Structure 1
Amino acid sequence: MSGILPTAWLNRVFNQDALEGIPQLPDESIDLVIADPPYGLGKDYGNDSDRRHPDDLLKWTCRWIELVLPKLKPSGSLYIFTTWRYSPEIFLYLKQRMIMVNEIIWDRKVPSMGGTTRRFTSVHDTIGFFAKTSQYYFDLDSVRIPYDPQTKKARSRSIFVGKKWLEIGYNPKDVWSVSRLHRIHSERENHPTQKPLEIIERMVKASCPPGGVVLDPFAGSGTTIAACLLNQRNYIAFEINPDYYQIILKRIEKINHGESEW
Protein backbone atom coordinates (compact mmCIF):
# COMPACT_ATOMS: atom_id res chain seq x y z
CA MET A 1 0.00 0.00 0.00
CA SER A 2 1.29 3.41 -0.94
CA GLY A 3 2.96 5.25 1.90
CA ILE A 4 2.97 2.31 4.33
CA LEU A 5 6.50 1.15 5.04
CA PRO A 6 6.78 -2.38 6.52
CA THR A 7 8.33 -2.32 9.97
CA ALA A 8 10.78 -4.98 8.85
CA TRP A 9 12.35 -2.46 6.47
CA LEU A 10 13.01 0.18 9.12
CA ASN A 11 16.52 0.69 10.43
CA ARG A 12 18.00 -1.86 8.07
CA VAL A 13 21.04 -1.72 5.85
CA PHE A 14 21.01 -4.08 2.90
CA ASN A 15 24.13 -5.45 1.24
CA GLN A 16 22.50 -5.02 -2.14
CA ASP A 17 22.54 -2.89 -5.25
CA ALA A 18 20.20 0.01 -4.51
CA LEU A 19 18.79 -0.16 -8.04
CA GLU A 20 17.47 -3.62 -7.20
CA GLY A 21 16.24 -2.80 -3.69
CA ILE A 22 14.61 0.61 -4.10
CA PRO A 23 11.75 -0.61 -6.35
CA GLN A 24 10.59 -2.81 -3.44
CA LEU A 25 9.89 0.23 -1.25
CA PRO A 26 6.33 1.58 -1.13
CA ASP A 27 5.73 4.84 -2.96
CA GLU A 28 5.56 8.03 -0.85
CA SER A 29 7.08 6.31 2.19
CA ILE A 30 10.37 8.25 2.56
CA ASP A 31 10.86 11.66 4.18
CA LEU A 32 14.40 12.35 3.00
CA VAL A 33 16.93 10.94 0.56
CA ILE A 34 20.62 11.61 1.13
CA ALA A 35 22.57 10.36 -1.87
CA ASP A 36 26.34 10.27 -2.06
CA PRO A 37 26.80 8.18 -5.20
CA PRO A 38 29.93 7.58 -7.25
CA TYR A 39 30.27 10.78 -9.28
CA GLY A 40 33.15 10.35 -11.62
CA LEU A 41 36.22 10.98 -9.48
CA GLY A 42 37.86 7.68 -10.37
CA LYS A 43 37.82 6.41 -6.80
CA ASP A 44 38.21 2.72 -5.96
CA TYR A 45 35.03 1.47 -4.29
CA GLY A 46 35.96 -2.15 -4.84
CA ASN A 47 34.43 -2.01 -8.32
CA ASP A 48 34.41 0.19 -11.43
CA SER A 49 31.34 2.23 -10.44
CA ASP A 50 33.34 5.48 -10.30
CA ARG A 51 35.16 4.87 -13.57
CA ARG A 52 32.22 5.01 -15.97
CA HIS A 53 32.36 7.01 -19.17
CA PRO A 54 30.69 10.40 -18.52
CA ASP A 55 27.69 9.51 -20.70
CA ASP A 56 27.22 6.21 -18.87
CA LEU A 57 27.61 7.91 -15.49
CA LEU A 58 24.87 10.42 -16.29
CA LYS A 59 22.54 7.72 -17.63
CA TRP A 60 23.08 5.66 -14.49
CA THR A 61 22.48 8.71 -12.30
CA CYS A 62 19.20 9.47 -14.05
CA ARG A 63 18.18 5.84 -13.67
CA TRP A 64 18.53 5.73 -9.88
CA ILE A 65 16.95 9.17 -9.51
CA GLU A 66 13.87 7.94 -11.38
CA LEU A 67 13.65 5.00 -8.97
CA VAL A 68 13.99 7.18 -5.88
CA LEU A 69 11.60 10.04 -6.63
CA PRO A 70 8.31 8.10 -6.38
CA LYS A 71 9.38 6.88 -2.93
CA LEU A 72 9.46 10.40 -1.49
CA LYS A 73 6.48 11.75 0.41
CA PRO A 74 4.99 15.02 -0.91
CA SER A 75 6.78 16.70 2.01
CA GLY A 76 10.03 14.95 1.16
CA SER A 77 13.31 16.23 -0.17
CA LEU A 78 16.63 15.04 -1.57
CA TYR A 79 20.27 15.99 -1.11
CA ILE A 80 22.72 14.78 -3.73
CA PHE A 81 26.50 15.07 -3.59
CA THR A 82 28.20 15.60 -6.91
CA THR A 83 31.10 17.36 -8.58
CA TRP A 84 31.21 20.60 -10.52
CA ARG A 85 31.95 18.57 -13.65
CA TYR A 86 28.50 16.97 -13.72
CA SER A 87 26.33 19.08 -11.42
CA PRO A 88 24.94 21.23 -14.29
CA GLU A 89 23.55 18.18 -16.12
CA ILE A 90 22.31 16.45 -12.96
CA PHE A 91 20.71 19.58 -11.52
CA LEU A 92 19.00 20.38 -14.81
CA TYR A 93 17.58 16.85 -14.89
CA LEU A 94 16.32 17.14 -11.31
CA LYS A 95 14.86 20.62 -11.87
CA GLN A 96 12.52 19.12 -14.43
CA ARG A 97 11.14 16.84 -11.72
CA MET A 98 11.59 18.67 -8.42
CA ILE A 99 11.95 22.12 -6.90
CA MET A 100 15.56 23.21 -6.49
CA VAL A 101 15.93 24.73 -3.03
CA ASN A 102 19.69 25.29 -2.81
CA GLU A 103 23.01 24.65 -4.42
CA ILE A 104 25.32 24.05 -1.47
CA ILE A 105 29.07 24.28 -1.73
CA TRP A 106 31.00 22.05 0.62
CA ASP A 107 34.35 23.76 1.19
CA ARG A 108 36.54 20.85 2.26
CA LYS A 109 39.07 23.24 3.83
CA VAL A 110 41.92 21.75 1.84
CA PRO A 111 45.22 23.58 2.46
CA SER A 112 47.10 24.93 -0.52
CA MET A 113 49.65 22.26 -1.39
CA GLY A 114 50.49 22.78 -5.04
CA GLY A 115 48.54 20.77 -7.60
CA THR A 116 47.62 21.72 -11.15
CA THR A 117 49.25 24.65 -12.89
CA ARG A 118 46.73 24.91 -15.75
CA ARG A 119 43.62 25.88 -13.74
CA PHE A 120 42.54 26.82 -10.23
CA THR A 121 42.64 23.96 -7.75
CA SER A 122 39.25 22.43 -6.98
CA VAL A 123 38.68 22.16 -3.22
CA HIS A 124 34.92 21.74 -2.98
CA ASP A 125 32.07 19.33 -3.60
CA THR A 126 28.68 20.46 -4.88
CA ILE A 127 25.46 19.45 -3.11
CA GLY A 128 22.01 19.84 -4.61
CA PHE A 129 19.05 20.30 -2.26
CA PHE A 130 15.73 19.52 -3.97
CA ALA A 131 12.14 19.27 -2.72
CA LYS A 132 9.32 17.18 -4.13
CA THR A 133 6.70 19.90 -3.58
CA SER A 134 6.49 23.38 -2.12
CA GLN A 135 5.22 21.81 1.12
CA TYR A 136 8.58 20.22 1.93
CA TYR A 137 9.61 19.79 5.56
CA PHE A 138 12.36 22.12 6.77
CA ASP A 139 13.26 22.83 10.40
CA LEU A 140 15.64 25.77 10.39
CA ASP A 141 15.73 26.15 14.17
CA SER A 142 17.28 22.70 14.58
CA VAL A 143 20.38 23.70 12.62
CA ARG A 144 20.88 27.36 13.52
CA ILE A 145 24.45 28.32 14.41
CA PRO A 146 24.81 30.18 17.73
CA TYR A 147 26.46 33.57 17.74
CA ASP A 148 29.60 33.94 19.81
CA PRO A 149 29.38 36.15 22.93
CA GLN A 150 31.29 39.01 21.29
CA THR A 151 28.85 39.18 18.37
CA LYS A 152 25.81 39.06 20.66
CA LYS A 153 27.28 41.85 22.78
CA ALA A 154 27.86 43.97 19.67
CA ARG A 155 24.16 43.62 18.79
CA SER A 156 23.05 45.33 21.99
CA ARG A 157 20.99 48.12 20.39
CA SER A 158 17.34 48.13 21.36
CA ILE A 159 16.18 47.07 17.90
CA PHE A 160 18.01 43.74 18.38
CA VAL A 161 16.75 42.92 21.88
CA GLY A 162 14.71 39.74 21.96
CA LYS A 163 15.27 38.91 18.31
CA LYS A 164 15.01 35.16 17.76
CA TRP A 165 17.89 35.03 15.32
CA LEU A 166 20.18 36.68 17.86
CA GLU A 167 19.14 34.43 20.72
CA ILE A 168 19.26 31.02 19.01
CA GLY A 169 21.60 31.61 16.11
CA TYR A 170 21.73 32.32 12.41
CA ASN A 171 20.73 30.42 9.32
CA PRO A 172 23.61 28.35 7.91
CA LYS A 173 24.73 29.77 4.59
CA ASP A 174 24.98 27.79 1.38
CA VAL A 175 28.76 27.45 1.72
CA TRP A 176 29.58 24.84 4.35
CA SER A 177 33.20 25.02 5.48
CA VAL A 178 33.81 21.68 7.14
CA SER A 179 37.15 19.92 6.99
CA ARG A 180 37.34 16.68 5.05
CA LEU A 181 38.18 13.65 7.17
CA HIS A 182 41.90 13.02 7.22
CA ARG A 183 43.24 9.55 7.93
CA ILE A 184 44.23 10.56 11.45
CA HIS A 185 40.74 11.81 12.27
CA SER A 186 39.04 9.67 14.93
CA GLU A 187 35.79 9.68 12.93
CA ARG A 188 37.47 8.26 9.84
CA GLU A 189 36.60 4.80 8.51
CA ASN A 190 38.32 2.90 5.70
CA HIS A 191 36.39 4.56 2.88
CA PRO A 192 37.86 6.89 0.22
CA THR A 193 35.10 9.53 0.20
CA GLN A 194 33.60 9.44 3.70
CA LYS A 195 31.56 12.55 4.48
CA PRO A 196 31.84 14.32 7.86
CA LEU A 197 29.05 13.56 10.31
CA GLU A 198 28.56 17.31 10.85
CA ILE A 199 27.35 17.77 7.28
CA ILE A 200 24.99 14.80 7.24
CA GLU A 201 23.54 15.64 10.65
CA ARG A 202 22.62 19.09 9.38
CA MET A 203 20.70 17.55 6.49
CA VAL A 204 18.95 15.01 8.69
CA LYS A 205 17.88 17.47 11.36
CA ALA A 206 16.75 20.14 8.92
CA SER A 207 14.95 17.98 6.38
CA CYS A 208 13.58 14.91 8.17
CA PRO A 209 11.06 15.18 11.01
CA PRO A 210 11.82 13.34 14.27
CA GLY A 211 10.78 9.73 13.81
CA GLY A 212 10.82 10.12 10.03
CA VAL A 213 12.59 7.88 7.52
CA VAL A 214 15.82 8.64 5.65
CA LEU A 215 16.84 6.64 2.59
CA ASP A 216 20.53 6.34 1.74
CA PRO A 217 20.98 4.46 -1.56
CA PHE A 218 24.80 4.46 -1.37
CA ALA A 219 25.61 4.09 2.31
CA GLY A 220 29.41 3.88 2.02
CA SER A 221 30.85 4.11 5.53
CA GLY A 222 27.43 4.58 7.15
CA THR A 223 27.56 8.25 8.07
CA THR A 224 23.89 8.84 7.22
CA ILE A 225 22.96 5.87 9.40
CA ALA A 226 25.04 7.27 12.26
CA ALA A 227 23.32 10.65 11.90
CA CYS A 228 19.91 8.97 12.06
CA LEU A 229 20.78 6.89 15.12
CA LEU A 230 22.16 9.91 16.95
CA ASN A 231 19.14 12.08 16.12
CA GLN A 232 16.12 9.78 16.52
CA ARG A 233 15.37 9.23 12.84
CA ASN A 234 14.74 5.94 11.09
CA TYR A 235 16.75 4.82 8.09
CA ILE A 236 16.84 2.44 5.16
CA ALA A 237 20.19 2.03 3.46
CA PHE A 238 21.82 0.08 0.67
CA GLU A 239 25.52 -0.68 0.24
CA ILE A 240 26.71 -3.00 -2.50
CA ASN A 241 30.31 -3.42 -1.29
CA PRO A 242 30.51 -6.22 1.33
CA ASP A 243 33.55 -4.67 3.03
CA TYR A 244 31.79 -1.33 3.51
CA TYR A 245 28.69 -3.21 4.65
CA GLN A 246 30.73 -4.73 7.47
CA ILE A 247 32.11 -1.30 8.40
CA ILE A 248 28.54 -0.02 8.66
CA LEU A 249 27.44 -2.91 10.88
CA LYS A 250 30.34 -2.29 13.26
CA ARG A 251 29.56 1.43 13.33
CA ILE A 252 25.90 0.72 14.16
CA GLU A 253 26.92 -1.65 16.95
CA LYS A 254 29.28 0.94 18.37
CA ILE A 255 26.60 3.63 18.49
CA ASN A 256 23.97 1.26 19.89
CA HIS A 257 26.36 0.43 22.74
CA GLY A 258 26.67 4.11 23.56
CA GLU A 259 30.22 4.50 22.34
CA SER A 260 31.24 7.92 21.05
CA GLU A 261 31.42 8.48 17.29
CA TRP A 262 34.76 10.17 17.91
Structure 2
Amino acid sequence: MTSWVNQVFCEDALTGLARIPDGSVDLILTDPPYNLGKDYGNASDQQTVDAYLAWTEQWIDAALPKLKANGSLYIFLTWRFSPEIFVMLKKRMTMMNEIIWDRRVPSMGGSVRSYSSVHDTIGFFVNRKDYYFDLDAVRIPYDAATKKARSRSIFIGAKWLEVGYNPKDLWSVSRLHREHPERADHPTQKPLEIIERMIKASCPPGGVVLDPFMGSGTTALAAQRCERNFVGFELNPDYCAIIESRLAAPKLEPTRKAAKRKSAATAVATEEQA
Protein backbone atom coordinates (compact mmCIF):
# COMPACT_ATOMS: atom_id res chain seq x y z
CA MET A 1 0.00 0.00 0.00
CA THR A 2 1.30 3.46 -0.87
CA SER A 3 2.68 5.81 1.78
CA TRP A 4 -0.24 8.27 1.68
CA VAL A 5 -2.92 5.67 2.45
CA ASN A 6 -4.29 5.40 6.00
CA GLN A 7 -2.69 8.71 6.91
CA VAL A 8 -4.14 11.95 8.27
CA PHE A 9 -1.78 14.79 7.42
CA CYS A 10 -1.68 17.82 9.69
CA GLU A 11 -1.68 20.38 6.90
CA ASP A 12 -3.88 22.46 4.63
CA ALA A 13 -5.86 20.29 2.21
CA LEU A 14 -5.10 22.60 -0.70
CA THR A 15 -1.42 21.83 -0.17
CA GLY A 16 -1.76 18.20 0.85
CA LEU A 17 -4.00 17.04 -1.98
CA ALA A 18 -0.93 17.07 -4.22
CA ARG A 19 0.21 13.98 -2.29
CA ILE A 20 -2.65 11.92 -3.71
CA PRO A 21 -2.45 10.58 -7.28
CA ASP A 22 -5.34 11.46 -9.59
CA GLY A 23 -7.92 8.72 -10.04
CA SER A 24 -6.92 6.82 -6.88
CA VAL A 25 -9.81 7.48 -4.46
CA ASP A 26 -13.17 5.68 -4.39
CA LEU A 27 -15.10 8.15 -2.25
CA ILE A 28 -14.77 11.73 -1.08
CA LEU A 29 -16.68 12.21 2.16
CA THR A 30 -16.29 15.54 3.83
CA ASP A 31 -17.71 18.02 6.31
CA PRO A 32 -16.05 21.33 5.41
CA PRO A 33 -16.43 24.52 7.47
CA TYR A 34 -19.92 25.99 7.05
CA ASN A 35 -18.74 29.61 7.42
CA LEU A 36 -21.00 30.14 10.41
CA GLY A 37 -18.26 31.46 12.70
CA LYS A 38 -17.40 28.23 14.55
CA ASP A 39 -14.07 28.19 16.39
CA TYR A 40 -11.81 25.54 14.87
CA GLY A 41 -8.66 27.16 16.23
CA ASN A 42 -8.18 29.20 13.04
CA ALA A 43 -10.11 31.57 10.78
CA SER A 44 -11.33 28.89 8.35
CA ASP A 45 -14.98 29.40 9.33
CA GLN A 46 -14.96 33.20 9.39
CA GLN A 47 -14.67 34.36 5.78
CA THR A 48 -16.76 36.76 3.73
CA VAL A 49 -19.41 35.05 1.61
CA ASP A 50 -17.52 35.69 -1.63
CA ALA A 51 -14.24 34.47 -0.17
CA TYR A 52 -15.90 31.36 1.28
CA LEU A 53 -17.52 30.37 -2.01
CA ALA A 54 -14.30 31.03 -3.94
CA TRP A 55 -12.34 28.91 -1.46
CA THR A 56 -14.96 26.15 -1.72
CA GLU A 57 -14.64 26.09 -5.49
CA GLN A 58 -10.86 25.98 -5.14
CA TRP A 59 -10.78 22.90 -2.92
CA ILE A 60 -13.49 21.15 -4.95
CA ASP A 61 -11.43 21.58 -8.11
CA ALA A 62 -8.36 20.26 -6.29
CA ALA A 63 -10.15 17.24 -4.77
CA LEU A 64 -12.37 15.93 -7.59
CA PRO A 65 -9.51 14.77 -9.87
CA LYS A 66 -8.48 12.35 -7.10
CA LEU A 67 -11.72 10.38 -7.59
CA LYS A 68 -11.86 7.25 -9.71
CA ALA A 69 -14.11 7.37 -12.76
CA ASN A 70 -16.84 5.48 -10.86
CA GLY A 71 -16.30 7.41 -7.62
CA SER A 72 -18.76 9.39 -5.49
CA LEU A 73 -18.85 12.37 -3.17
CA TYR A 74 -20.84 13.19 -0.03
CA ILE A 75 -20.64 16.72 1.34
CA PHE A 76 -22.20 18.11 4.53
CA LEU A 77 -23.49 21.67 4.18
CA THR A 78 -25.73 24.23 5.81
CA TRP A 79 -28.89 25.37 4.04
CA ARG A 80 -27.36 28.85 3.89
CA PHE A 81 -24.79 27.85 1.27
CA SER A 82 -25.95 24.50 -0.10
CA PRO A 83 -27.74 26.06 -3.13
CA GLU A 84 -24.59 27.79 -4.38
CA ILE A 85 -22.31 24.81 -3.67
CA PHE A 86 -24.73 22.33 -5.20
CA VAL A 87 -24.70 24.41 -8.40
CA MET A 88 -20.89 24.31 -8.39
CA LEU A 89 -20.91 20.54 -8.07
CA LYS A 90 -23.68 20.03 -10.63
CA LYS A 91 -21.38 21.60 -13.21
CA ARG A 92 -18.82 18.90 -12.47
CA MET A 93 -20.78 15.80 -11.38
CA THR A 94 -24.25 14.25 -11.36
CA MET A 95 -26.36 14.88 -8.27
CA MET A 96 -28.13 11.76 -6.99
CA ASN A 97 -29.66 12.97 -3.72
CA GLU A 98 -30.11 15.82 -1.35
CA ILE A 99 -30.12 14.08 2.03
CA ILE A 100 -31.55 15.82 5.08
CA TRP A 101 -29.96 14.93 8.39
CA ASP A 102 -32.50 15.53 11.16
CA ARG A 103 -30.30 16.11 14.19
CA ARG A 104 -33.17 15.43 16.64
CA VAL A 105 -32.72 18.79 18.31
CA PRO A 106 -35.23 19.34 21.16
CA SER A 107 -37.99 21.87 20.46
CA MET A 108 -36.73 24.59 22.75
CA GLY A 109 -35.01 27.95 22.33
CA GLY A 110 -34.02 29.24 18.91
CA SER A 111 -35.08 32.28 16.93
CA VAL A 112 -38.37 34.09 17.50
CA ARG A 113 -38.28 35.60 13.98
CA SER A 114 -37.86 32.43 11.92
CA TYR A 115 -38.27 28.65 12.20
CA SER A 116 -35.62 26.81 14.22
CA SER A 117 -32.97 25.13 12.09
CA VAL A 118 -32.61 21.50 13.17
CA HIS A 119 -31.04 19.84 10.13
CA ASP A 120 -27.91 19.64 8.01
CA THR A 121 -27.99 19.22 4.24
CA ILE A 122 -25.92 16.49 2.56
CA GLY A 123 -25.25 16.32 -1.16
CA PHE A 124 -24.62 12.94 -2.82
CA PHE A 125 -22.87 13.25 -6.19
CA VAL A 126 -21.36 10.74 -8.63
CA ASN A 127 -18.99 10.87 -11.56
CA ARG A 128 -20.88 8.65 -14.01
CA LYS A 129 -23.75 6.17 -14.34
CA ASP A 130 -21.81 3.06 -13.28
CA TYR A 131 -20.86 4.51 -9.88
CA TYR A 132 -20.32 2.05 -7.04
CA PHE A 133 -23.33 1.70 -4.74
CA ASP A 134 -24.01 -1.27 -2.44
CA LEU A 135 -27.62 -0.91 -1.33
CA ASP A 136 -27.71 -4.27 0.45
CA ALA A 137 -24.95 -3.11 2.81
CA VAL A 138 -27.13 -0.32 4.21
CA ARG A 139 -30.67 -1.70 4.05
CA ILE A 140 -32.74 -1.17 7.20
CA PRO A 141 -34.35 -4.35 8.58
CA TYR A 142 -38.11 -4.50 8.89
CA ASP A 143 -39.40 -4.99 12.40
CA ALA A 144 -41.27 -8.13 13.47
CA ALA A 145 -44.67 -6.45 13.23
CA THR A 146 -44.09 -5.43 9.61
CA LYS A 147 -42.90 -8.90 8.66
CA LYS A 148 -45.97 -10.44 10.31
CA ALA A 149 -48.24 -8.05 8.43
CA ARG A 150 -46.62 -9.22 5.19
CA SER A 151 -47.10 -12.91 5.92
CA ARG A 152 -49.58 -13.52 3.09
CA SER A 153 -48.52 -15.94 0.37
CA ILE A 154 -47.77 -13.18 -2.14
CA PHE A 155 -44.92 -11.99 0.12
CA ILE A 156 -43.33 -15.41 0.75
CA GLY A 157 -39.76 -15.47 -0.54
CA ALA A 158 -39.65 -11.73 -1.18
CA LYS A 159 -36.02 -10.68 -0.82
CA TRP A 160 -36.84 -7.12 0.18
CA LEU A 161 -38.85 -8.35 3.16
CA GLU A 162 -35.91 -10.34 4.47
CA VAL A 163 -33.05 -7.91 3.79
CA GLY A 164 -34.86 -4.68 4.61
CA TYR A 165 -35.68 -1.44 2.87
CA ASN A 166 -33.73 1.29 1.16
CA PRO A 167 -32.84 4.19 3.50
CA LYS A 168 -34.80 7.29 2.60
CA ASP A 169 -33.30 10.73 2.02
CA LEU A 170 -34.32 11.90 5.50
CA TRP A 171 -31.93 10.52 8.11
CA SER A 172 -33.08 10.97 11.69
CA VAL A 173 -29.99 10.40 13.83
CA SER A 174 -29.33 12.23 17.08
CA ARG A 175 -26.49 14.71 17.19
CA LEU A 176 -23.69 13.83 19.62
CA HIS A 177 -24.40 15.26 23.04
CA ARG A 178 -21.60 15.98 25.49
CA GLU A 179 -22.21 12.77 27.41
CA HIS A 180 -22.30 10.57 24.29
CA PRO A 181 -19.56 7.87 24.32
CA GLU A 182 -18.47 8.85 20.80
CA ARG A 183 -18.05 12.51 21.63
CA ALA A 184 -14.63 14.11 21.12
CA ASP A 185 -13.58 17.70 21.79
CA HIS A 186 -14.79 19.12 18.47
CA PRO A 187 -17.71 21.54 17.91
CA THR A 188 -19.24 19.90 14.83
CA GLN A 189 -18.48 16.18 15.16
CA LYS A 190 -20.73 13.91 13.08
CA PRO A 191 -22.14 10.56 14.30
CA LEU A 192 -20.39 7.37 13.21
CA GLU A 193 -23.76 5.89 12.23
CA ILE A 194 -24.16 8.38 9.38
CA ILE A 195 -20.58 8.22 8.14
CA GLU A 196 -20.49 4.42 8.22
CA ARG A 197 -23.68 4.26 6.15
CA MET A 198 -22.10 6.42 3.45
CA ILE A 199 -18.89 4.40 3.41
CA LYS A 200 -20.62 1.01 3.27
CA ALA A 201 -22.86 2.16 0.43
CA SER A 202 -20.36 4.09 -1.68
CA CYS A 203 -16.87 2.71 -1.08
CA PRO A 204 -16.03 -0.91 -1.99
CA PRO A 205 -14.30 -3.12 0.59
CA GLY A 206 -10.61 -2.29 0.55
CA GLY A 207 -11.29 1.01 -1.21
CA VAL A 208 -10.06 4.46 -0.21
CA VAL A 209 -12.06 7.29 1.38
CA LEU A 210 -10.73 10.85 1.18
CA ASP A 211 -11.74 13.55 3.68
CA PRO A 212 -10.04 16.91 3.10
CA PHE A 213 -11.38 18.27 6.42
CA MET A 214 -10.96 15.51 9.00
CA GLY A 215 -11.93 17.46 12.12
CA SER A 216 -12.15 14.90 14.92
CA GLY A 217 -11.38 12.04 12.51
CA THR A 218 -14.79 10.39 12.31
CA THR A 219 -14.35 9.59 8.60
CA ALA A 220 -11.02 7.88 9.27
CA LEU A 221 -12.42 5.94 12.23
CA ALA A 222 -15.51 4.87 10.29
CA ALA A 223 -13.36 3.72 7.37
CA GLN A 224 -11.18 1.70 9.73
CA ARG A 225 -14.24 0.09 11.34
CA CYS A 226 -15.71 -0.73 7.90
CA GLU A 227 -12.41 -2.23 6.65
CA ARG A 228 -11.76 0.52 4.14
CA ASN A 229 -8.69 2.70 3.75
CA PHE A 230 -8.63 6.44 4.35
CA VAL A 231 -6.62 9.57 3.75
CA GLY A 232 -7.25 13.11 4.88
CA PHE A 233 -6.05 16.45 6.15
CA GLU A 234 -6.57 18.56 9.24
CA LEU A 235 -5.07 21.98 9.98
CA ASN A 236 -5.45 22.02 13.77
CA PRO A 237 -2.70 20.05 15.60
CA ASP A 238 -5.02 19.52 18.59
CA TYR A 239 -7.57 17.81 16.37
CA CYS A 240 -4.81 15.73 14.77
CA ALA A 241 -3.93 14.46 18.25
CA ILE A 242 -7.60 13.57 18.85
CA ILE A 243 -7.68 11.67 15.54
CA GLU A 244 -4.55 9.72 16.45
CA SER A 245 -6.06 8.78 19.80
CA ARG A 246 -9.38 7.67 18.31
CA LEU A 247 -7.71 5.55 15.63
CA ALA A 248 -5.51 3.86 18.22
CA ALA A 249 -8.51 2.63 20.21
CA PRO A 250 -11.42 2.08 17.77
CA LYS A 251 -12.82 -0.83 19.78
CA LEU A 252 -13.54 1.54 22.64
CA GLU A 253 -16.13 3.33 20.50
CA PRO A 254 -18.74 0.79 19.37
CA THR A 255 -21.88 2.23 17.88
CA ARG A 256 -24.91 1.94 20.13
CA LYS A 257 -26.54 -0.62 17.88
CA ALA A 258 -23.40 -2.75 17.86
CA ALA A 259 -23.17 -2.48 21.63
CA LYS A 260 -26.80 -3.56 22.00
CA ARG A 261 -26.24 -6.54 19.67
CA LYS A 262 -23.19 -7.56 21.65
CA SER A 263 -25.10 -7.23 24.93
CA ALA A 264 -28.01 -9.27 23.58
CA ALA A 265 -25.67 -11.96 22.26
CA THR A 266 -23.94 -12.16 25.64
CA ALA A 267 -27.30 -12.49 27.40
CA VAL A 268 -28.37 -15.32 25.09
CA ALA A 269 -25.07 -17.13 25.57
CA THR A 270 -25.39 -16.79 29.33
CA GLU A 271 -28.93 -18.22 29.27
CA GLU A 272 -27.79 -21.14 27.12
CA GLN A 273 -24.95 -21.94 29.50
CA ALA A 274 -27.20 -21.74 32.57
TM-score between both structures, scaled by the size of structure 1: 0.95
Equivalent residue of 1:74, what SS? strand
Instruction: Note if contact 2:195-2:218 (Cα within 8 Å) is conserved in structure 1.
Output: yes
Q: CA deviation at 1:114?
A: 2.2
1:60 aligns with 2:72: no
Q: CA deviation at 1:33?
A: 0.3
Q: CA deviation at 1:165?
A: 1.1
What do the CA deviations read for 1:234-253 (whole angstroms, capped 9, x no partner)? 00011110000000000011
1:259 aligns with 2:259: no
1:212 aligns with 2:207: yes
Give, in whole Å, the separation in 2 of the partners of 1:115 and 1:213: 39
Q: CA deviation at 1:41?
A: 1.8
1:229 aligns with 2:224: yes
1:33 aligns with 2:24: no
Give, in whole Å, the separation in 1 of the partners of 2:216 and 2:254: 13
Quote the residue 2:3 is aligned against. 8
Give, in whole Å, the separation in 2 of the partners of 1:243 and 1:227: 20
What do the CA deviations read for 1:43-97 (whole angstroms, capped 9, x no partner)? 1000111111111111111100000111100110000000101100000110011
Quote the residue 1:78 is aligned against. 73
Quote the residue 1:116 is aligned against. 111
Give, in whole Å, the separation in 2 of the partners of 1:54 and 1:11: 34
User: Which 4+ runs in 1 deviate beyond 6 A?
Assistant: none
Equivalent residue of 1:49, what SS? coil
Give, in whole Å, the separation in 2 of the partners of 1:46 and 1:99: 34
Structure 2 residues not aligned, in runs of 5+: 256-274
Q: CA deviation at 1:42?
A: 1.2
1:133 aligns with 2:128: yes
Instruction: Return the letter of the residue paired with 1:120.
Output: Y
Quote the residue 2:272 is aligned against. none
1:196 aligns with 2:191: yes
TM-score between both structures, scaled by the size of structure 2: 0.91
Give, in whole Å, the separation in 1 of the partners of 2:10 and 2:18: 15
Give, in whole Å, the separation in 1 of the partners of 2:252 and 2:179: 19
Percent identity, aligned pairs only? 66
Alignment of 1:97-108 (within 5 A): 97-108=92-103
Q: CA deviation at 1:233?
A: 0.1
Instruction: Return the letter of the residue paired with 2:103.
Output: R
Give, in whole Å, the separation in 2 of the partners of 1:32 and 1:68: 11
Instruction: Note if contact 2:35-2:47 (Cα within 8 Å) is conserved in structure 1.
Output: yes
Instruction: Note if contact 2:181-2:253 (Cα within 8 Å) is conserved in structure 1.
Output: no
Give, in whole Å, the separation in 2 of the partners of 1:128 and 1:225: 20
Give, in whole Å, the separation in 2 of the partners of 1:178 and 1:53: 31
Instruction: Return the letter of the residue paired with 1:186.
Output: P
Give, in whole Å, the separation in 2 of the partners of 1:16 and 1:48: 15
Give, in whole Å, the separation in 2 of the partners of 1:66 and 1:192: 27
Quote the residue 1:248 is aligned against. 243
Quote the residue 1:3 is aligned against. none
Instruction: Return the letter of the residue paired with 1:34.
Output: L
Give, in whole Å, the separation in 2 of the partners of 1:253 and 1:168: 33
Give, in whole Å, the separation in 1 of the partners of 2:154 and 2:86: 41
Of the candidates 138, 162, 168, which is equivalent to residue 167 of structure 1? 162
1:239 aligns with 2:234: yes
Q: CA deviation at 1:7?
A: 1.1
Give, in whole Å, the separation in 2 of the partners of 1:7 and 1:135: 26
Give, in whole Å, the separation in 1 of the partners of 2:119 and 2:36: 13
Alignment of 1:168-187 (within 5 A): 168-187=163-182
Give, in whole Å, the separation in 2 of the partners of 1:41 and 1:163: 47
Give, in whole Å, the separation in 2 of the partners of 1:259 and 1:109: 25
Quote the residue 2:262 is aligned against. none
Instruction: Return the letter of the residue paired with 2:206.
Output: G
1:50 aligns with 2:50: no
